[in-house]
Chain A
Amino acid sequence: MKTNKPAVLGKALLIAMMCVAAAACSKKVKDAPPEPPAQPVTDTAPAPSGVYGPEDLDRDACLRQRTVYFDLDRDNVRSEFQAQMACHAKYLRDRPSARITLEGHADERGSREYNLGLGERRGNSVSSALQANGGSAGQLTVVSYGEERPTCTESNEDCWARNRRVEIVYTAR
């Protein structure tokens, strides 16, 4: 690297410098061969700054979180789910072939038809959050099930809170 700076200084020295630079390059290439086997090993370990692969969906603590919960009659993604939005969006960036269906759900109260609309709104809200974090619209599909697929069937606040959700479903990893 140090030899490159003088090479820029003068045309007269250009040829000589190129020779030096070429020598430096060949030196690095020679140094490299022992390292490559080691690099892939460090990449597959869960490196926070690395690139996500399909296997991370099963073992990355953030990517394994696939449910976003909502307040009553609300569709805004609460701040506690920002990390989840960020990691799934990063996965979408890292793997352009990945596809997600966002299944929007509502609790059982009120009109089934209206709740289909609420479920879709929540799905759209998560879709927007993923896009804001770098996911692309073409990777995201929203399907609303309204109140038709509860995870819990008791009529109380705790159960309703668990049913007001968007489930992140990978249809292509």
Chain B
Amino acid sequence: MTFAKRCLLAVFALLLPFAAAAQQQGLEIDIIGGNASALPIAVVPMPYQGSGSPPPTDVAAVVRADLERSGQFRTLPEADMMARPTTGAEVDYPAWRALRQDFLVVGRVVDAAEGSYRVEYELFDVARQERLLGLAMTARASALRDVAHQMADAIYEKILGIRGAFWTRIAYVTATGAGQGARYALMVADSDGYNPQTVVRSNEPLLSPAWSPDGRKLAYVSFERGNSAIYIQDIATGSRELVSSFRGINSGPAFSPDGRKLALTLSRSGNPEIYVMDLATKALTRITNQFGIDTAPVWSPDGNSIYFTSDRGGRPQVYQAPATGGAASRVTFEGAYNADPDVSWDGQKIAVAQGAGNTYRIAVMDRSLGTPRWTTLSPGSLDESPSFAPNASMLLYAAREGRRGVLYAVSADGRVRQRLVLADGDVREPAWGPYRDQR
């Protein structure tokens, strides 16, 4: 039960690979900090036991890297493994206890129909000498990383009781060059930074990517028409639709939880206001009507209300209004500047960029215990754009280091941080995508 308690308190970190830098436009990852209470787990190599060509992906290594990066686990280096069992029958529990391992994962890869591979794996509780999981997954060679992330999710959930978010994707904006030579790209990558793909390239600024709930589309802001405009683009096909190009600002798109509506910011009335667009009819409903700046809308998970940034009280703070329009109420009262809200899946936590003087940090307001409790997750000094993982165990945010923008992934308790650096240029505007298998 000690680990169960730990998972309640602790939380974890995931994300992004060491080898990603080798890939074009890939992100280079550094882990900063660590978690002393991480659970020891041994993920034994899973050899290929078929007769065809060996698989291109070291499945066990991907699982190990996912769990290690989560900050919630400490994985045993391969060199320290005294034995390499591939099935439960071969496991010698006392030997793994001697290595002080709490958990053990073994498995193997065999041939499946039509050149596919079948990965069989088992998870054991070493102390109890008990099998916790025994599963098999079949995939083509190109999908073996996806299989490995799903294995890591299953292991994570079995041990911690929290759904894993390794098999997810992230969107972000990259910028290289400056002035007339500036180039922007909207990118999508696996949550570990692998398989980066360019969704849009532009000579004009791109910002505010937002995922559709099914993970198939991205809404974003582009200045390619000489003013801000909102597009919705299908990631797989590349087809896109211009949904908003009114006079003034068109920004801050956010899909409703059912995917049928888009909240957005328009200043066509003279100053920025929040609207909701019905995506089928393009009809607009105005949510705010106020002389201040109202912007950066996000939906509550139940779709009934919209959180947004407003400076109607003087400086920016987070407000909440019914998604059908109506009076707004202030949500954040601690801190002089709270902007860029993002809401956790259960609606209990609101992450913001919190400013004090010249320092901007990521802070989370937790309302699950009644009175709001604030936790500061980042050191500053110019942190912004927090985005929760779908299980809210971690957040992505943007920071500045020297003259470049970098992304960080941070555990929800702020104890484990990882830096995602683009080899050349800025990375900004992170958006963590939804679960890829909808339960």
Asked if A109 meets B267 with Cβ closer than 8 Å, knowing A114-B309, A117-B295, A121-B293, the reply is: no
**Pairwise interchain contact B309-A153, C-beta atoms closer than 8 A:** no
Complex: chain B residue closest to A119, CB-CB: B249
- Which listed residue (A108, A121, A124, A148) contacts B207, Cβ 8 A? A148
Could you tell me how many residues of chain A have their Cβ less than 8 Å away from some Cβ of chain B?
23
Q: Are B295 and A113 in contact (CB under 8 A)?
A: yes
Q: Which of A93-151 contact B (CB under 8 A)?
A: 108-114, 116-118, 120-121, 124, 142-145, 148-149
Contact of B249 with A149 in the complex, beta carbons under 8 Å? no
The smallest beta-carbon distance between A147 and chain B, in angstroms, is 9
Given A120-B248, A144-B249, A145-B223: A114 touches B295 (CB 8 Å cut-off): yes
Which residues of A lie under 8 Å from residue B309 when comparing CB positions? 111, 113-114
Instruction: Give min CB distance, A163 to chain B, whole Å.
Output: 12
Q: B426 — nearest CB in chain A belongs to which residue? A: A153
Assuming the A-B contacts A109-B358, A109-B360, A155-B382, are A116 and B337 also in contact, with contact meaning beta carbons closer than 8 angstroms in the complex?
Answer: no
In the complex, which residue of chain B has the Cβ closest to the Cβ of A153?
A: B403
Q: Given the complex of chains A and B, what is the CA–CA distance between A144 and B221 in angstroms?
A: 13
Contact between A113 and B252 (Cβ–Cβ < 8 Å)? yes
Q: Which residues of A contact B340 (CB under 8 A)?
A: 111-114
Contact A113 B248 (CB under 8 A): no
Q: Does A154 touch B at the CB level, under 8 Å?
A: yes
- Name the contact of B384 in the complex, choosing from A110, A118, A124, A144 (C-beta under 8 A): A110
Question: In angstroms, how far is the closest chain B Cβ from the Cβ of A126?
Answer: 15
Contacts of B353 in A (CB 8 A): 110-111
* Contact in complex: B251, A109 (CB < 8 Å): no
Complex CA–CA separation, A143 to B358 (angstroms): 26
User: Does B339 contact A108, Cβ atoms closer than 8 Å?
Assistant: no
Nearest-Cβ distance from residue B305 to partner chain A, whole angstroms: 18
In the bound complex, how far is the Cα of B249 from the Cα of A148, in angstroms?
13
* Contact across chains for B248 and A108 when beta carbons are under 8 A apart: no
By a CB distance below 8 angstroms, the chain A residues around B315 are: 73
Task: Confirm or deny: B71 has a beta carbon within 8 angstroms of a beta carbon on chain A.
Answer: no
Residues in A neighbouring B339, C-beta threshold 8 A: 110-111, 113-114
Asked if B286 is at the interface (CB within 8 A of a chain A CB), the reply is: no
Nearest CB in chain B: distance from A52 CB, A? 26
Q: Is B164 on the interface with A (CB-CB < 8 A)?
A: no
B400: Cβ under 8 A from any A Cβ: yes
B320 within 8 A of A: no
**Interface contact B228-A109, CB-CB below 8 Å:** no
Bound complex: CA of A167 vs CA of B271, how far in Å? 19
Interface positions of B from 260 to 282, Cβ below 8 Å from A: 265, 267, 270-272
In the complex, which of the residues A116, A143, A149 has the most CB atoms of chain B within 10 Å of its own CB atom?
A116
| B223 adjacent to A110 (CB under 8 Å) | no
A residues less than 8 Å from B195 (CB atoms): none
A110 to B226 CA separation, bound complex (whole angstroms): 24
Q: Roughly how many angstroms separate A118 CA and B384 CA in the complex, as a whole number?
A: 16
Chain B residue numbers with a CB within 8 Å of A110 are: 316, 337, 339, 353, 355, 360, 384
* Chain B residues positioned under 8 Å from A124 (CB to CB): 270-271
B272 A109 Cβ-Cβ under 8 A: no
Give the docked Cα–Cα distance between A154 and B382 (Å): 12
What chain A residues lie within 8 Å of B271 (beta carbons)? 117, 120-121, 124
Q: Are B293 and A114 in contact (CB under 8 A)?
A: yes
B122 touches A (CB below 8 Å): no
CA A97 – CA B63 in complex, angstroms? Answer: 66
Chain B proximity of A86: nearest CB distance (Å): 25
Nearest-neighbor residue (CB-CB) of B205 within chain A: A148
Centre residue among A110, A121, A153 by max chain B CB count within 10 A? A110
Within B361-395, the residues touching A (CB, 8 Å) are: 381-382, 384-385
Taking the closest CB of chain B, its distance from the CB of A108, in whole angstroms, is 7
A117 close to B267 (CB less than 8 A): yes
With a cutoff of 8 Å between Cβ atoms, the chain B residues found around residue A113 in the complex are: 208, 251-252, 265, 295-296, 309, 339-340
Known contacts A118-B293, A148-B207, A155-B400; A109/B382 CB under 8 A: yes
CB distance from A82 to the nearest CB of B (A): 24
A sample of 29 cross-chain residue pairs with beta-carbon separation below 8 angstroms, ordered by A number, consists of A108-B382, A109-B355, A109-B382, A110-B339, A110-B355, A110-B360, A110-B384, A111-B353, A112-B208, A113-B252, A113-B296, A113-B339, A114-B296, A114-B339, A116-B272, A117-B249, A117-B265, A117-B267, A117-B293, A117-B295, A118-B293, A120-B248, A121-B271, A143-B228, A144-B248, A144-B249, A145-B205, A153-B403, A155-B381
8 nearest CB pairs, A to B:
A117-B293, A111-B339, A148-B205, A113-B296, A111-B340, A117-B272, A113-B295, A114-B339
Apart from A111-B296, A112-B207, A149-B182, what 16 extra A-B contacts exist at CB < 8 Å?
A: A109-B355, A109-B358, A110-B337, A110-B339, A111-B385, A112-B428, A112-B429, A113-B265, A113-B295, A114-B293, A120-B267, A120-B272, A143-B226, A143-B227, A145-B223, A155-B400
